[in-house]
Structures are given as structure tokens and as C-alpha cells.
Amino acid sequence: IARAPSVIATVIYALPPAIRLTSLGIRQVDAATLEAADAFGATGWQKLVKVQLPLALPSILLGVNQTIMMALGIVVIAALIGAGGLGWEVLDALRRLRVGQALEAGLAIVFMAVIFDRVSAGFARGSQPRRQGQASARRASLRENAPGWLLNYVFWSGVLIFVLVFVLVDADRGLLRGFPAGWRISIREPVDALVEWMKRNLYQLGDLPIGAGPFSDFLVIYLLNPLRRLLQRGLPWPVLIGLVGLVAHHAGGWRLALGSVLGMVALGLLGMWEQSMDTLSQVLVAVLLAVVIGVPLGVWAARSDRVEALLRPVLDFLQTIPPFVYLAPVIMLFHVGRVPGIIASVLYALPPLVRLTNLGIRQVAPAAVEAADAFGATVWQKLRKVQLPLALPSIMMGVNQTVMMVLAMVIIAGLVGGGALGLEAVNGLSRNQLGRGLEAGLAIVSIAMILDRLTQAWAGGRPGA
């Protein structure tokens, strides 16, 4: 236990977005640009370093951003095996249902994530290749604007002098041994009071069918229960496996169909068919809600720089706040059951879908958009027939990431009454029944691999073909 295994687990969990988005960015480099590099006699290494990587930089940086967010998002789970730090603060607060204390630690994680995000983005902007003429013009501008250039150095010199004076003068007062406790601004009491108010006033607004209670009832009665009955009892298991195989064959060919069928059969062989179908119904509902909310937000952000700027800190907050922090207020509003896990899953998985939809639409070739304008296309026609189809690989990659992040919340949903595979895994670990926990874990992996390959195939990669 302790920090070393926590670091290893965090790396394993946070690595896939960096790999996938790097691959996606390089594959989406314009073919004409690569042909031009070949025509000039560029080697494979030169083409990669000077053409593909610079042009794929936005997608690569988004992968780095997602990796940072996911690494910081797992700190609470790492606290379960002795990682300590902010994760333990969140976990301890939630065990006692102290939402304010959990939010304080969660905000500290958010601030760290925002700092890492902005610094990495700044380095990326500074490392982007510039043409020689632009670099020369910038150097000439700096020479002409010498007072501003000197003022920059004077400012940072003043900051350095202030820090040195503070160290020398106040070292004997103990201020440098830790952040002064008297400077602390506590938000615990206001947050706890707000949660209690929400619990009393937002469960249902008078006699109107509006509020957390009616919404929870709608999800359970009209979505979760019918879908679970359909998957568990409504369709015979051979028919369901066959339907999955047909969908996989249509999306990616016979290899993907064969792998999907074998994965579905494995769920039954592991003795986890009923629990797997329950989990699958929750995952499908959570992904549906995320897509209904995330894709329109991504389109809106792509059409407005101001909206993108406003959404960015909100998305950072949603993805970096540990999922456990959502659970206390969500449980108080929706009570224990499947709905709190779904709400937490949607909030946690929404940011990558919004960001990748925004990125995909913004990276559509300007020539294609100008051609649509020249033919007199309306805004809606341009979006539906040009931008969304060309941005589909990026959007489907967002859906893929959403599916994976929803599945990552399965165990957490099991802790708050979600049941299914999450509860099986938790019971196996808590009762020292490693075999039972491993069976549930393998079932989760099987579902994840099927959904992952299907969404990648729909994105156009056709990994199973």
C-alpha cells in the first residue's frame, strides 16, 4: 500500500487519452500536406517532427489535458490504498457526509488542475513553429518596444526581491514552515447550509412534477427499469448476443463482430450475465444523457469563442472534482439507488465530449465551410451537412471517452446503491473474496472493450475490419 502503487495505478488509468488523442491528431493531418512533404524529399522522421506533430498539436495537448484531469480525478480512489494527501481529505469528509469539507479539498484539486492545464497550454503556444519572417518581425518589434521589454524584466525582478525580503525578514516567525492557518478562508459552513436548503426545497417544487424527485422517478420508471428488463428478460440471451454481433459487423467487419460475440459469451461464462445487463443499462442511460447535453454544448462552444472561454473553467471543475465529491449532495437530493451513480457519471464524463466536439468542429477545413457558404447553405445546413460529418471522428472519440469514463464510475455507483457489477466488485474486495471481485472486474473489462471497439469503429477507424 501507500504512494508507489498509487502512482502506478494512476499512470495506468490516465494513460489512454494521451495515446488515443495523439494517434487521432496525427491521423487527421491533411493528406495534401503530407504529399507536399514527400515531394520535397522529407524523411519519415522529418515528416513526423516538422509536419505531423506540429499540425496535430491541438489534439495532442487535449490528450495531455485529459491525462492530467484523469490523474487528478483518481486521487480519492488512490487514497483507499494509502496515497494520503487531498484524496484522503475528500474520502474522510464523505464518510462523515461533510460536503463542505469535501468541497474544500476538491477545490484544491481543481486549482492544481487549472494551473497544470494553463501552464501546459502556455508551453504549447511557445513551442509552436513560427515562420522565419514572423520570428524576425517579432524580434524587430521587441527592439522597437524596448521600454515594454525592460518593464517586463523590472516587474519580475521586483517579484524576486520581494520574495527574498520576505524569506529573510519573516523566517524567524515561522510563516515559511507552512501556510499560515490564520489566512484560511473556510467555505464548509455555507456549503453545508446550501446542501441542506437544496435537500428541503429542490426535491420537488410544490405540487409541480419538477425537481430532483420527479426527475429521478422519470429515469427509473421510463428508462432504467424498461431497459434492464429488456436486456435481462425481454430478449433471450442468444438473440441479444446475435444483435450485438450484427451491430459490430456493420460497424467494423467480421473480426469486430467475432470479438464482440466472444465478449458477450464471456459475461455468461463468468456467471455475471444478470449483473452485466444491469450495468449495461445504467451505462447506456448515462451515455445517452451525456450525449444529449454534451454535443449541443460542444457545438455552441465551437460557434462562439466567448462560450468556449466560459465553459472551459466549468469543464475543468467538473472533470477534476473527484467523483466522490458529487455523491454526498447527489445522494441527499436523489436518495440512494442507481440515479445518484448515473448523475455522478454524467457530470464526470461530460467534459471530454464537449471538448472533442468543439475541437472537431473548429478543425474542419475552412475551404469546406467557404464552399458551403458559396453555395448558399444556411447555418443549420452547414452544421448538419458539412461540419458535423467532417467532425464525426473527433465527436465519436469524445463518445468513446465518455463511455470509458462512465464505466470507470461503475464501482462508485455500486457504493451508493447502484448494484450490478460495481456492488459485486466492492463486495469481493471488502470480504476478501478476490475471485468474486476478479470475475466482476473481468465482466466490466469485457463490456468496456466491446463498447470501446464499437465506438471507435463508428468513428471511422474500423479497428475490427
Q: Which residue has the higher pLDDT, 385 or 91?
A: 385
pLDDT for the residue 379: 87
pLDDT for the residue 152: 67
d(CA 264, CA 285): 19
Q: Which residue has the higher pLDDT, 428 or 381?
A: 381
CB neighbour class for 8 (10 Å; exposed up to 12, middle 13-18, buried from 19):
exposed
How far does Cα 76 stand from its chain's mean position?
A: 16
C-alpha cell read off for 444: 466490466
Q: pTM of whole model > 0.95?
A: no
Query: Is the pLDDT at 198 greater than 70, yes or no?
Result: yes
CB within 8 A of 284, min separation 6: which ones? Answer: 227
Mean pLDDT of 29-57: 90
- Among 95-99, 103-107, 205-209, the minimum mean pLDDT is found in 205-209
Q: Looking at this protein, which amino acid is placed at residue 179?
A: F
Q: Which residue has the higher pLDDT, 437 or 417?
A: 437
Would you place residue 47 in the very low, low, confident or very high pLDDT band (cuts 50, 70, 90)?
very high
Mean pLDDT of 53-77: 80
Summary mean pLDDT of the chain: 80
Q: Which residue has the higher pLDDT, 176 or 49?
A: 49
Highest mean pLDDT among 51-60, 178-187, 196-205, 427-436: 51-60
pLDDT for the residue 462: 43
Q: Which residue has the higher pLDDT, 395 or 136?
A: 395
d(CA 269, CA 92): 38
Mean pLDDT of 259-274: 92
Mean pLDDT of 224-244: 91
Q: Which of 240, 249, 310 is nearest to 273 (CA)?
A: 240
pLDDT for the residue 133: 45
Query: Is the pLDDT at 159 greater than 80, yes or no?
Result: no
Give percent of the chain above pLDDT 70.
81
pLDDT for the residue 426: 72
CB burial string 388-399: b at 16+ within 10 A, e below: bebbebbbbbbb
Would you place residue 465 in the very low, low, confident or very high pLDDT band (cuts 50, 70, 90)?
very low
- Among 207-216, 295-304, 307-316, 442-451, the minimum mean pLDDT is found in 207-216
Asked if 333 and 371 count as a contact pair (C-beta separation under 8 A), the reply is no
Would you place residue 24 in the very low, low, confident or very high pLDDT band (cuts 50, 70, 90)?
confident
pLDDT for the residue 366: 86
Query: Is the pLDDT at 464 greater than 50, yes or no?
Result: no
**Cβ atoms < 10 Å from Cβ of 307:** 15
Q: Which residue has the higher pLDDT, 428 or 355?
A: 355
